Amino acid sequence: MTKPSAWHINQNLTGKRVRAILRFALNETRDLRALAAECELKDSVLQKIVIPTVRDVGLLTARGMVLTQLGRQFQYLSDKSSPLFSEAMHQLLYTSHYFDLSKRFSWAYAQVVDALWGSGERTIDQATVAHLVGMVVERATQTYDVPPERIAFSHNSVLGIRHWLRALDPPVLSNSGNKEIFRRRFYCSAIVLLWAADALYRITQTSYGVRIFLTLERAEQLCKICVLDPSGLDNVLMLAKRMSDYEHGGLFDYGTAGGFGRWLLLAKPCSVGSLPETS
């Protein structure tokens, strides 16, 4: 049985550092001191904290500096598009706990994102951070039946989450004077929606090629994964169809049927980090 991870999302884990680690592993070099310098980290922090976190996320194998299949996919995506890499990392962090209960950091990540999404717009100040920390600790004690003193989740954990939210494009965190504001976005890339649709298929255990009816709950789940305002969902669904239209050999379709409301169709997998032409 896999040892459960901590709930903490490490504040030293950033897109720039993950990309550097993936390049390092792909090139099979072994100068960890040079890697630490590139990441602007102490060698001990890199080896004892950051690299193990990249391993926990699933991009490195259990031993050594070797990319997993997912890690190779993400490294390829990093070379193709830095913004899409950041979007993929966000979704990986958000959804991993659905498929592996040992990834407690992913559960905590989703709890914070969902809370911010639910507010629509929110100032990220000390009071907000304290509320988010308390919320995660309280829910974790109930969900995992663990005493609060054993749950390592702090303001640094929220900072770790904010790193990834800041990297989204279009953004969901912006500066207003000396304040940071969270706002749901009204648009995201079509591929981001396809990744979220794939996650929805896996979460609901629906076979690819079978329509999923977008109940209010499922539509909200898609929007939460994409940090998208519900008013923008139809537009992004349309863009995803244009990108990979099932009727023209692609893998995605959506529409309405017989008064039952919206549905979407994913003909085959489009897992997070993949691209339609290579998925």
Q: What are the residues whose beta carbons fall under 8 Å from the beta carbon of 71, sequence distance 6 or more?
A: 22, 25, 58, 59, 60
Q: Residue 275: its pLDDT value, please?
A: 85
pLDDT tens, 92-101?
A: 999 999 999 9
pLDDT tens, 122-136?
A: 999 999 999 999 999
My answer on whether omega of the bond before 276 falls inside 30° of 0, hence cis, is no
Least confident of 138-152, 221-235, 251-265: 251-265
Q: Which residues pair with 47 in a beta bridge?
A: none
Q: Residue 76: its pLDDT value, please?
A: 94
pLDDT tens, 162-212?
A: 999 999 999 999 988 788 999 999 999 999 999 999 999 999 999 999 999
Q: Residue 278: its pLDDT value, please?
A: 42
- What is this structure's pTM? 0.95
pLDDT band at 276 (very low <50, low <70, confident <90, very high): confident
Please tell me which residue, 28 or 79, carries the higher pLDDT value. Answer: 79
pLDDT band at 5 (very low <50, low <70, confident <90, very high): confident
Burial (CB < 10 A; 0-12, 13-18, 19+), residue 216, is: exposed
pLDDT tens, 140-169?
A: 999 999 999 999 999 999 999 999 999 999
| C-beta atoms surrounding 95 within 10 Å | 23
Q: Residue 256: its pLDDT value, please?
A: 85
Least confident of 34-38, 56-60, 173-177, 179-183: 173-177
Look at the block and give the residue holding tokens 């929220």.
158
The yes-or-no verdict on residue 2 having pLDDT over 90 is: no
pLDDT band at 4 (very low <50, low <70, confident <90, very high): confident
Mean pLDDT of the residues in the chain: 93
Q: Residue 30: its pLDDT value, please?
A: 74
Q: Residue 63: its pLDDT value, please?
A: 85
The yes-or-no verdict on residue 137 having pLDDT over 70 is: yes
The stretches of the chain forming alpha helices (DSSP H) are 15-27, 32-39, 43-45, 51-57, 69-80, 82-99, 104-119, 126-144, 155-166, 190-203, 216-226, 233-243
Please tell me which residue, 139 or 262, carries the higher pLDDT value. Answer: 139
For 34-61, what is the mean pLDDT?
94
Percentage, residues of the chain above pLDDT 90? 87
